[in-house]
Amino acid sequence: MNITFRLNGKEVTVEARPDKRLSAILRDDLNLKGIRKGCGTGYCGSCIVLMDDLLVSSCLIPAFAARHKSIITIEGFSQTKEFSDILTGFKEANVHLCTYCAPARILSTAYMLRKNIMPTEEQIVDNISAVQCRCSSFSHLKRGIVQASIHLNKRKNNG
């Protein structure tokens, strides 16, 4: 089956079985290595992408469900100013992410900050728990998200 969707702003068509998972298409067929192979059940969060501006675990999405959707991976998101704001905030808070969780952690932070530029502590805690990795301390992650929020807010207010 041919499946056409918008990937990082460009239309792509792939040949895939309808039940093949989006994570496998992105990583194996389209060579996007920011998608990690994790639990395969949506629990670990390592395969998070934005699909039609919603945060989803791509291992749970069958290929047919991606038809005509807009999908943003870390490779596409890394070209945005938001990405730079998040990295700056994380760096200021001494957040050191491993290569396994960094893509998902950054995308989940971006999603949360798009919904609420000044998140509550509860929202931040929920965000941190979306990705199951303990490479960075909880307190550093919280500070990093707050710092990223400050940078995003400052950039949006200045121009």
CB neighbour list of residue 17: distance below 8 Å, 6 or more residues apart: 1, 63
Distance between CA atoms of residues 148 and 119, nearest Å: 11
Percent of the chain with pLDDT over 90: 91
Identify whether residues 44 and 109 lie together within a single domain.
Answer: no
Beta strands in 1-78 (DSSP E): 2-7, 10-15, 48-51, 54-57, 70-72
Closest C-alpha to 100, from 40, 45, 156:
45
Distances in Å between the Cα of 128 and the Cα atoms of 24, 85, 88, 139, 145 are 25, 18, 18, 10, 9
Give pLDDT tens digits for 21-47. 999 999 999 999 999 988 899 899 999
The pLDDT, as a whole number, for residue 32 is 97
Q: What's the domain range around 18?
A: 2-76
Q: Which of 13, 43, 76 is the last residue of a domain?
A: 76
Please report the pLDDT score of residue 148 as a whole number.
97
Instruction: Return the closest-CA partner of residue 92 out of 128, 14, 144, 20.
Output: 144
Could you give the percent of the chain with pLDDT greater than 70? 99
Q: Which of 16, 47, 76 is the last residue of a domain?
A: 76
pLDDT at 156: 86
Q: What is the pTM of this model?
A: 0.93
Cβ neighbours, 10 Å, residue 136: 20
Average pLDDT over residues 12-19: 94
How far apart CA 30 and CA 84 sit, in angstroms, is 25
Joined together, the tokens standing for residue 1 give 């089956």
pLDDT at 159 over 90: no
- What CATH number is given to the structural domain containing 138? 1.10.150.120
Mean of pLDDT over the chain: 95
Rounded distance between C-alpha atoms, residue 145 and residue 120, angstroms: 11
CATH of the domain at 52: 3.10.20.30
47 plus 96 within the same structural domain: no
